[in-house]
Amino acid sequence: MTVKWHPEFDLLVEYAAGNLCTAQAMMVATHLQYCPHCKSAVNKLEILGGELMSKTPNSSSETVSPDVWQNTLAAIAKPAPKPQPKRSLMQRIAPNGLSALDWKGLGPVQTAHVDLGDERNGRLSLLKIRAGARVPVHSHHGNEWTLVLEGGFSDHMGKYNAGDFVCLDGNHKHSPVAAVNEDCICMAYVDEQLHFQGWLGPILNRVIKL
Amino acid sequence: MASAMIDMQQRKAKSRMDRSDDEWGILLEKIARDQDMRAFEKIFGHFGPQIKSFARTSSIGKLGDSFPDDLVQEVMTSVWRKAHQYDRSKAKASTWIFTIARNQRIDMLRRTAKLQNEVLTEEIWDEPEIDGPIVDVQRRAAERLIHSNLGALPPEQREVLGKVYMEEKSHQDVANELGIPLGTVKSRVRLALNKLKVLVEPAI
């Protein structure tokens, strides 16, 4: 299935430039695993990074002292530290599998916080919506990014399947509904908590936290 | 006749570029194959000042005078140690070294912010290549195009790209700093990326 919803190009640019916090970058990097189109754009943005680095205004007049060269020679003469084993992004998010995460919430809608040690700008969570269930209407004061990992959901703007990346800002209100045939699991990033509407709002705000 | 001349000049320019482009990649291969110290010195002499400038323009420059030099040393040490992973058929030397410098800059900033990282930078920023999207020919075409068109961008488009990449600013930060709307910053970046053929609308 092809991915239909993509991060905006400015997000890809900031990702390629290395400016996103861990939680944000994790969202983009995971989307790239589903999306050859954005992956290819990021490759080109990295080519651009190399070109820009070679043409920074003062790089022609910049000098590196011979000490740095000497220190580098000393560093490479030492044995390299053992590289830390590389893991897949999903292994980092849920080392013991999705079901072992600390799921919280209300029957059909559950969330699990994913703490990657860098929450300078916002929080990363996983969101599980039972097949056919609806997330109550909520709005956002900040930004909410959602990436579908499994299953799918829809709202008034469209249908989203695995790999789709949806960005909502404070002007949006929505009430996503999971597809009927399977549970929907998403990765979500918020820079401010959601605000549920209606008489249940105050309770939901306490129970469902991303 | 005239157009044939131009065509030939362009082709010559192109092959000159291919050679100079290969030059650094070939040196990296020599480092990997023979631990060639002369090749390493050349790479250091060429990319060292670029990395220092890259570090100095970013927030690393504000940490203190020694930090940009530290980044040069760290990146160059990695270049030496990882040279065997470099594949000239997959990336230009400048792209490869940029990604190492970018990742080490992220690591250095995280260390100074004392963040407990639960994930390695290179896991997030060095995802394994998905086969297919950029075949070699397309990638080389992209490299040539970006290289030759970057200089021709209007200064205001070049400026915003520089601020995002070199000064690690978000589009919003750039808008605040220049006192222009966010939409203007985004449209400058979009125009620049269109000219560099980085942006291609996804086929739906």
| Complex confidence, ipTM | 0.88
Q: Is residue B4 part of a domain?
A: no
Whether residues B49 and B142 fall in one domain: no
Q: Are residues B98 and B142 in the same domain?
A: no
Where would I find the H helices in chain A?
Answer: 9-17, 22-34, 36-54, 66-77, 89-93, 201-207
Q: Which residues in chain B have Cβ-Cβ distances shorter than 8 Å to A118?
A: 110, 115, 117
Confidence of residue A32 (pLDDT cuts 50, 70, 90): very high
DSSP E strand boundaries for B35-97: none
Measured between CB atoms, does A19 come within 8 Å of chain B?
yes
* CB under 8 A, 24+ apart: contacts of A60-64: A60/B49, A62/B49, A62/B50, A62/B52, A62/B53, A62/B56, A63/B49, A64/B44, A64/B48, A64/B49, A64/B52, A64/B69, A64/B72
Any idea what the CATH number is for the domain that residue B142 is in? Answer: 1.10.10.10
The answer to whether residue B6 sits within a structural domain is no
- Residue among B98, B134, B186 minimizing CB distance to A10: B186
Condensed to tens digits (0 to 9), the pLDDT of residues A139-162 reads 777 788 999 999 999 988 889 999
Residue B115 counted as domain residue? yes
pLDDT band at residue B135 under the 50/70/90 scheme: low
User: What number does CATH give the domain A1-210?
Assistant: 2.60.120.10
Of B85, B102, B128, the residue at which a domain comes to its end is: B128
Q: Are residues B123 and B187 in the same domain?
A: no
- In total, how many domains does chain B have? 2
Q: In this predicted model, which residue has the larger pLDDT, A185 or B199? A: A185
User: Which strands sit side by side in the sheet containing A104-106, from one edge to the other?
Assistant: A104-106, A109-114, A123-129, A184-190, A144-150, A165-168
Residues of chain A with C-beta less than 8 angstroms from the C-beta of B116: 117
Residue B8 falls inside a structural domain = no
Residue B112: pLDDT over 50: yes
Residues B175, B122, single domain; the answer is: no
**Cβ of B100: how many Cβ atoms within 10 Å?**
20
Percent of chain A exceeding pLDDT 90 equals 46
Q: Is residue B7 part of a domain?
A: no
Whether B119 and A116 have beta carbons less than 8 Å apart is answered as yes
Choose the final residue of a domain: B104, B128, B152: B128
Cβ within 8 Å, pair B161-A52? yes
Q: Does the CB of A69 have a partner CB in chain B at under 8 Å? A: yes
The predicted-structure confidence for A7-21, as pLDDT tens digits, reads as follows 999 999 999 999 998
* B42 within a domain of the structure (yes/no): yes
Query: Domain extents for chain A?
Result: 1-210
Helix (H) or strand (E) holding B26: helix B2-34
- A187-201 confidence digits (pLDDT tens): 999 887 666 667 766
Q: Among B89, B105, B128, identify where a domain stops.
A: B128
The residue segments making up the domain with residue B165 are: 131-199
